[in-house]
Amino acid sequence: MLALLPVTLKLWGVKSLGDAGVSGALAAAAAAVLAAVILQTIWGRLNARKLNLPPGEMEWPIGGLKFYKQGFGGIFAFPGLARKMRNITQPRICLRGYADIKKVLGADGDLAEVAWPASTRALLGERSVTFATGAYHRSLRRLLGPCFAPAAIDSYLPSLECIVERYCAQWADATAAAVEKGGAGSGGDLALLPKMQKEARMLTFEVMAIVVTGLRLSPEQLYDMSHSFDSLTRGMFVPIALPLPGSLYAKARAAQRHLFAILDSQLDALSATAASGQPPTANGGGGGLLAGGSVMERLLGMRDDEGRSLSREALRDLAINLLFAGHETTATSILRMLLVLRSRPDVVSRLRAEQAAVAAAQGEAVTGSSLRCMPYLDAVIKELWRLEPVVPMVPRRARKGFKLTEGWDVPQGWGLALGLAEPMALHPTWAPWAGGKGPAGAPFPPWLPPPADPASDPLHPALFNPDRWRIEAHADTDEGEGAGEGAGARAADTSSPPGTLSCPLNALPPEMLAFGGGVRRCLGANLAWAELKVVTALLVRKYDFAPALEDMEVGGGRCGPWQLGPPHEGWRWQQYVRQHRQWR
């Protein structure tokens, strides 16, 4: 390693190690850094020998690079409930068990803390909800919670329906034009898939920016901000936060500066409106007034214990954080739903019948009441999130050492990768397909190939089957915390047949951590439910879907293929996350 110093110094413009002055200082600094890394590694290994660590490979000095290339879907492809690994230079333990993940999420700030990459912290900001801690974090959630409560979501629906109808009409026109240009059966509309991902992001960004956050953007500004967010997102999770010219991270920082400039003008306008005594914003012009105003109006009025308002830097960070979290993942769910609708005419037929009944009973407008009368659509969304959760993993860092359920030790300071999708994959209802093996057994149901004849085993865990869900009474929360944990969900009903799941409307089983858990559970869960339901409802009411093509495959699964439809439809959802990244 020391032999590399002369080469490194030449890259810095130093001719030889013998040069006086700066060359000696650089050599000493490089040697000191190298010595520190070696000593830290030795010290860590000595301490690790005293602990009962889970199995796994600890590549040295840099590990986990294959996951940055292949995607992190395979990071949890191991037997047991825990595995150790090295992520770049940091040692990490990957967790799959529900009890361990719930323990970590429920002890935020005590056992563990948020540990997103430095690039994420820099681009979302220290004062954002994601990185807020303590009393400041609690104050933010109390302030923002009402903006995502069921009553608030209901007030957004007129504007949301108007926006969705406009985008659906545009998508239908673009699809018809592509098919006409390519010829019937040519699959010319497949070229629209990358565009559809961007279009879905535009839709959800408009909803979040104008209807929820309360920004006053022209169509040109809206497009400009959405495009900048695309650049911001591409650089948000890079492993090394260095703004090298032309790098994704450098482009993301440039996009951040551009977004800050737009937000500054928006904040000035909102501040002027508040100072003039005008009433709170009407939600995108299509709904009634939300008590307390939009998200940004609430943040502008927020005061700490000493009566001080939030700084401009904090307001920017919060706006960036909320806009990112409020549109990116929902857009991905919308695209996946579009692919399901295209490949499963049987599902579309059932959805269409349900929508006809709802419209006949409650009218054509999509309201909060009508959304709560769509149990089959609810089941379709649950099944979509069961097989392909949008956020399959979140990182944490151990603030202190503790033990896992299997007896393994977690050392203080080690990273933690929480597999949010894993508890549902290990749900006891799949036991018959796992050969009766427990959570430590292998193979696990998600990796099981689908049956050759789906009709012979319709409840197989690898099959997309909304009928496995037994939807019960409606469950909503008033605090805007979303549905799921603490919102009507409960332990699995052991009396249900294997392969089936009982759950209230708008809620998820406790093991289904699509929105995370604990004090950092997704604030916008109710909004995500509503957006996906409104988009799907309007699509099946007014539009038809072209059949899937034999050669049409879309990649991504975190754990191998799952079957969207019968084999003759030629539709398997394979490695979607990896290809989804390429689409961007």
- Determine the Cα–Cα distance for residues 151 and 477; give it in Å rounded to an integer: 10
The DSSP bridge pattern shows strands 409-410 and 402-403 to be antiparallel
Angle at the Cα of 564 from the Cα atoms of 459 and 392, rounded to 5 degrees: 90
Quick check: 416 and 395 in contact, CB under 8 A?
yes
Count of Cβ atoms closer than 10 Å to residue 182 Cβ: 14
CB-based burial of residue 69 (10 Å sphere; 0-12 exposed, 13-18 middle, 19+ buried)?
A: exposed
Q: Which two tokens stand for residue 218?
A: 């022209």
- Determine the Cα–Cα distance for residues 340 and 334; give it in Å rounded to an integer: 10
Quick check: 227 and 206 in contact, CB under 8 A?
no
Quick check: 196 and 189 in contact, CB under 8 A?
no
Q: Is the dihedral of CA 360, 362, 366, 371 positive or negative?
A: negative
Q: Is the dihedral of CA 250, 255, 258, 259 positive or negative?
A: negative
Q: Which two tokens stand for residue 106?
A: 């429920």
Q: Crossing angle of helices 312-343/248-275, nearest 10°?
A: 110
Closest CA to 461 of 344, 378, 557, 377: 557
- Determine the Cα–Cα distance for residues 299 and 128; give it in Å rounded to an integer: 12
Helix (H) or strand (E) holding 341: helix 312-343
Instruction: Report CA-CA distances (Å) from 138 to 130, 134, 198, 523, 567.
Output: 12, 6, 34, 12, 49
The contacts of residue 40 (CB under 8 Å, 6+ apart) are none
- Determine the Cα–Cα distance for residues 187 and 480; give it in Å rounded to an integer: 42
Question: Is 503 marked as a binding-site residue?
Answer: no
* Residue with the two structure tokens 């093991």: 511
* Residue with the two structure tokens 């000191």: 32
3-state secondary structure of 113: strand
User: Does the N-terminal peptide bond of residue 61 adopt cis geometry, omega within 30 degrees of 0?
Assistant: yes
Q: Which two tokens stand for residue 557?
A: 């699964």
Q: Which two tokens stand for residue 115?
A: 């540990």
- Determine the Cα–Cα distance for residues 119 and 58; give it in Å rounded to an integer: 24
Closest CA to 1 of 47, 41, 57, 45: 41
- Determine the Cα–Cα distance for residues 193 and 171; give it in Å rounded to an integer: 11
Separate counts of helices (H) and strands (E) for the chain: 18, 11
Q: List residues forming the annotated binding site.
A: 522
Annotated binding site for heme: 522
